[in-house]
Amino acid sequence: MTDNTESVVSTPLWPYGDSSLMHIVRRAGQKSTATWTSTVTTGLSAVQYAILVVLAEEKICDQQTLGSRAGFDKASGSYLIDRMTQSGLVESHPDPANRRRKLVSLTAAGRDMLNQMVDEARQAEAVLASRLEPDDVAELKRLLSKMTGLQEPHDPDE
């Protein structure tokens, strides 16, 4: 029998010891999704909530920029926007300057939904971070932003 300790330690399903990063990130994603669905009662996903937040900030946004800011890819973007349009939460129409671009904006119903969801979304984040100290949360956000290539929020004191 060969000694394959190194491969065993890096195995994603290894239940103790030094777990692989892939395994930990996957488990964190599962916990995040479970926390969201048990806390937020609207039936909208975290990505749909992010779309509402971005549109509340931007007023009108092309679908590519919206995807970059809210964290969805082109393939799922059309589905998400179409679904939210059918639900009356957003409106979309071709950009008059470039008919290949789709412009998306928040409806009154979308703004109402966002207002309804804000407290639950904050509660979901508090539950998710409940085992962490505030400094740990800040560091985790910094590291995950770095790992995923997301821009870190601008510090207004700088």
- Joined together, the tokens standing for residue 12 give 């994603």
- Joined together, the tokens standing for residue 45 give 């996903």
Cite the DSSP H helix spans in the chain. Answer: 5-9, 21-39, 46-58, 63-70, 74-86, 108-128, 134-148
pLDDT at 126: 96
Question: Is pLDDT at 152 greater than 90 in this prediction?
Answer: no
Place of tokens 């806390």: 39
The pLDDT confidence band at residue 40, using thresholds 50, 70 and 90, is very high
Tell me which residue of 111, 135, 95 sits closest to 55, measured CA to CA: 111
pLDDT at 64: 87
Tell me which residue of 102, 62, 104, 67 sits closest to 84, measured CA to CA: 104
Residue 90: beta bridge partners? 106
Question: Is pLDDT at 1 greater than 50 in this prediction?
Answer: no
Give the span between the Cα atoms of 126 and 147, in whole angstroms.
22
Give the span between the Cα atoms of 134 and 140, in whole angstroms.
10
Question: 107 and 86 in contact (C-beta within 8 Å)?
Answer: no
pLDDT at 154: 52
Place of tokens 């804000």: 118
pLDDT digit string (tens) for 45-97? Answer: 999 999 999 999 988 999 888 988 888 888 888 899 999 999 999 999 998 98
Query: 10-14, 19-23, 60-64, 73-77: lowest mean pLDDT where?
Result: 10-14
pLDDT at 22: 79
The pLDDT confidence band at residue 128, using thresholds 50, 70 and 90, is very high
Give the span between the Cα atoms of 109 and 139, in whole angstroms.
36
pLDDT at 111: 96
How many percent of the chain have pLDDT more than 70? Answer: 83
C-alpha separations of 119 from 1, 4, 54, 58 in Å: 56, 49, 17, 21
